[in-house]
Amino acid sequence: MIRSDIIRGHLDSIVLRLILEKDRYGYEISKQISLRTNNRFQIKEATLYAVFQRLERKECIESYFGDVSHGSKRKYYRITTLGKAYLKETYEEWQEVKEIIDMFMEG
C-alpha cells in the first residue's frame, strides 16, 4: 500500500484525468483508482468528495445529476475548459518533478 501523503498533492490531477476520459460519478472514480493501481492505492470517500469540492470551487469541474440508479440520482462530474488547462499544467509540473526525483533516486 502506498502512503497517501505521497500521492495527496496529486489527487486533483488524478481525478481530473479520470473525468477527462468520460464524465464519472464518485464511486466509479474510487473504483477506477483501486483497479488501475491493483489496490495499491485507494481513495477514501471523504477525501474524494473534498477533491470534488475543491475542483468545483476552482471551476475545473462541474456536476450534474444523471438518471435514477438504485433509487437515487447519481451526481456526475465533467471537466471544464479551465480543468483541461489546469490538468495540462499539473502534468507538465509532474514531468519536471519526476525528472528531479529520478536524478537523485536513481543516482
Model confidence pLDDT, tens digit, residues 76-101: 999 999 999 999 999 999 999 999 99
Domain with 31, as residue range(s), is: 4-105
User: 30, 29, 31, 34: which is closest to 18 by C-alpha?
Assistant: 29
58 and 82 Cβ atoms separated by less than 8 Å: yes
Model confidence pLDDT, tens digit, residues 3-56: 667 788 889 999 999 999 999 999 999 999 999 999 999 999 999 999 999 999
- The kind and range of the H/E element at 74 are strand 72-79
Rounded Cα distance between 37 and 32, Å, is: 8
Q: What is the tally of structural domains in the chain?
A: 1
C-alpha cell belonging to residue 23: 464524465
Q: What is the CATH classification number for the domain harbouring 71?
A: 1.10.10.10
2 and 42 Cβ atoms separated by less than 8 Å: no
